[in-house]
Structures are given as C-alpha cells and as structure tokens.
C-alpha cells in the first residue's frame, strides 16, 4: 500500500516562505507551554475516567461526563493523547493513546452520522501517522467507506444527521467539512477516486450554499432530497438562523484550509482567507469569541474556548499558505496566549481537562461554560503546529 499522506502537523511546502516573511517582519517566537503542566493535568483526567468510556465534558454537578464509542466526540481523547506523545516523546502517552484508539475499532462500520472523521481520523489517523503501524490502514479505509454511504449525488453533499427536527429533509452542517480529510487520505491511500470526488463535491456545494456575502456561515443547510435544491437555512446550536455561531465559523475556516492543503484548489484557499478576514475582524479584545458572534447579551455572554482553539490551529496552518501569513501567525499567537493566560485549567481543576469555558449548545443549555474534550484536542494541535513553525 502507499505510505500514509502527511497529516496536518507536518510542515507544508509554503512553510519556509512563511517563516522567512515572519523573520523579516520581526515576529517573535512563542515559548511553548510546559509539557509537564499539561501532562499532570491529563494524568488527573485519566484517574477521574477510570476506564469508564471516553471523556467528553463535565455534568452540571461538576462530575466527569464520559461517553461510549458511538458518541461523536469519542475520538478526541485518543487524539489528545497521541498529541501528548508527539509533544513529549514519552512512551506512556503512546501506550495510553493506543488503548483508547483500539477501543474505537468497531466504529469503522458506523454509518449513522457524518462524524467518522472526528472519531476515526483523530484517533486512528494520528496513530498511523505517529507509529506507521499498517494495521490501522484497513480500519481507516473502512471508516471512509462507511462515511460515503451518506453521500447523495443529487444533493452533492454527505448527509450530516438523520434526525429532521420536524422540517428538514436532508440537513448538512458546516461541521461536516471537518470529516473530509479522512476521504482525501483514503483516496490517496487506496487509489480509489470516489473518496476524493465525494469530498470535492461536498466542499464545493458547501462553499456555494453555506456562506453569506460577508463570509460568515450558516449552521445548517437543508436540501430537497429529490431535487438537491436548498430548502432552508437554519441554526441548531447558534443564537439565530442569521447569526454567526462561533464554533461553526471556526469549523469553516479549518475545513477550507485543510481542503486547500489536500487538493491545491485555489477557490478553497480564497474562501479560507475570506473567512479568516471576517473572523479576525470580529474577535473581542482578548481574542476568544463569545459562543455566537451575534449573541444578544454580549459582553455578558459565555465565551467558547473550543471555537478559539480550532481557530488558532486553523490560522497556524493557513499562515503557511498565504501572503497574509505573518498576520495569521500573530493573531493565532494572541489567541493562544489568551487561552493560556485566562482560560487554562488550574492544576487539578476541571477533572483534568486542559481548558475550561467552552460551549456545546447554548440553545439546549448543553455544556455551557464547561471544559469539552475537543477544545483540548485542537489546543494541543495548535501548540504542535506552532512548535513546528518555530523549528
């Protein structure tokens, strides 16, 4: 089989140019967070977990909320542990990461939603990247085959959810962009063009229909399942149908930056730069967004640290492709400094999660102002991307 395509933490062709521009403009090098501090916190989380599933968040009472393998967030903990292995080189993290990765093996056959990339590429994908263990390849390929069962050629998108909220026919959410990396990898690994073609169709259809003239994104686009026409545009986790739900905006930026890396399609880079311009123009002073950029109670609304961590990671990657790289680098550094200064958990706090103050779904009062596992995952990814840019 072909070797695995590089995952996003490896250096990119434009990196030397970006570093050169950064040096010419006098950009300083950020000091990487102390790995011992991060390790101590994750040791607390492992003790709290006690092999009771996969950590997701905390309950309203402050107890650890663990979930089964079928939950959409189940792959992030294994991915976080793989990143700690990469950051520290300590075999302890490799052993722990592998245990939680293998516990997801049966999910390769899950066709019930679009979240296969989150579950399987964050876990098995990082496992393959860091160990080269070829036994992980068939699991990832089957995961990709499961994901494309949800594709409809009339719509041109992978269906996100099977629930309809009473009105939806074929809902597609902006989050779904994040699962395309699995398909791009599967096509290169297997030589089967179907995976790439489906990912491209999904990315192009989403670009055409999810974005407003200001490059903010709606959360849900509902398509007519017979004609492929857009029926309605809604939110499910944001403030309003016309608002800019913060995590969704970060998903969009990350998704189109990744899509450009995987395809070289210029329209995806242009879109990513437009999204970045919109977001960087709307961040509050401390660079950590409120849960929705249009939430009515700002500045008394909850922040969403997960949206900030995803945004920082995306900006670090985008900085390697764009003439605006030094700006993206500087703004990502500002976000990370704010997270580390204000939003990071104190030692032993938050049952061992690295960051607090994320928001899952405020309309449903779910995980509001809580630590959430995917915030930790993208925070560590951002730390590693910044470290690679500095080396």
- Supply the residues annotated as catalytic: 115, 175
Q: E strands along 50-190, which residues?
A: 54-58, 64-67, 151-152, 157-158, 170-173
Instruction: Let me know: does 314 contact 330? Beta carbons within 8 Å.
Output: no
Beta bridge partners of 151: 158
Rg for the chain, CA atoms, rounded: 19
- Tokens 């939430």 sit at which residue? 295
Residue among 280, 258, 279 at smallest CA distance from 268: 258
Residues 294 and 217: their CA atoms lie apart, in Å, by 12
Buried b (16+ CB within 10 A) or exposed e, 262-301: bbebeebbebbbbbbebbbebbeebbbbbbbbbbeeeeeb
Residues 244 and 100: their CA atoms lie apart, in Å, by 34
Cα dihedral across residues 101, 127, 5, 2: positive or negative: negative
Q: DSSP 3-state helix, strand, coil percentages of the chain (rounded to 5)?
A: 55, 10, 35
Buried b (16+ CB within 10 A) or exposed e, 74-87: bbbbbbbbbbbbbb
Residues 265 and 227: their CA atoms lie apart, in Å, by 27
Per DSSP, 120 falls in state: I
The DSSP H or E segment spanning 131 is helix 126-131
**Dihedral angle over CA of 137, 138, 141, 147, nearest 10:** -120
């Amino acid at each position: 089989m072909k070797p695995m395509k590089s995952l996003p933490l490896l250096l990119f062709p434009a990196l030397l140019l970006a570093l050169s521009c950064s040096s010419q403009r006098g950009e300083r090098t950020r000091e990487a967070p102390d790995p011992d501090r991060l390790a101590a916190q994750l040791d607390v989380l492992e003790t709290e977990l006690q092999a009771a599933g996969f950590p997701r968040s905390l309950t309203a009472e402050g107890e650890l909320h663990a979930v089964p393998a079928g939950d959409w967030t189940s792959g992030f903990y294994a991915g976080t542990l793989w990143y700690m292995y990469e950051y520290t080189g300590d075999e302890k993290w490799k052993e722990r990461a592998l245990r939680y990765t293998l516990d997801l093996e049966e999910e390769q056959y899950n066709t019930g939603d679009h979240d296969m990339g989150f579950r399987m590429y964050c876990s098995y994908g990082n496992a393959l990247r860091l160990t080269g263990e070829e036994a992980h390849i068939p699991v990832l390929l089957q995961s990709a085959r499961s994901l494309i069962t949800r594709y409809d050629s009339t719509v041109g998108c992978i269906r996100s959810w099977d629930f309809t909220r009473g009105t939806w026919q074929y809902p597609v959410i902006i989050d779904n962009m994040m699962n395309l990396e699995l398909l791009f990898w599967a096509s290169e690994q297997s030589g089967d063009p179907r995976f790439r073609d489906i990912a491209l169709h999904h990315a192009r259809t989403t670009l055409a229909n999810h974005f407003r003239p200001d490059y903010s994104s709606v959360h849900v686009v509902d398509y007519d399942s017979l004609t492929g026409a857009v029926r309605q545009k809604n939110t499910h986790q944001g403030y309003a149908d016309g608002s800019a739900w913060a995590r969704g905006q970060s998903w969009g930026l990350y998704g189109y930056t990744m899509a450009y890396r995987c395809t070289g399609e210029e329209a995806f880079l242009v879109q990513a730069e437009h999204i970045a311009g919109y977001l960087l123009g709307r961040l509050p002073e401390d660079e950590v967004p409120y849960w929705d950029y249009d939430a009515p109670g700002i500045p008394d609304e909850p922040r969403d640290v997960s949206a900030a961590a995803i945004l920082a990671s995306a900006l670090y990657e985008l900085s390697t492709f764009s003439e605006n790289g030094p700006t993206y680098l500087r703004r990502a550094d500002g976000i990370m400094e704010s997270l580390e200064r204000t939003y990071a958990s104190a030692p032993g706090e938050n049952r061992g999660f690295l960051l607090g103050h994320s928001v899952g779904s405020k309309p449903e009062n779910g995980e509001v102002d809580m630590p959430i596992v995917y915030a930790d995952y993208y925070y560590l990814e951002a730390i590693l991307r910044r470290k690679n840019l500095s080396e």
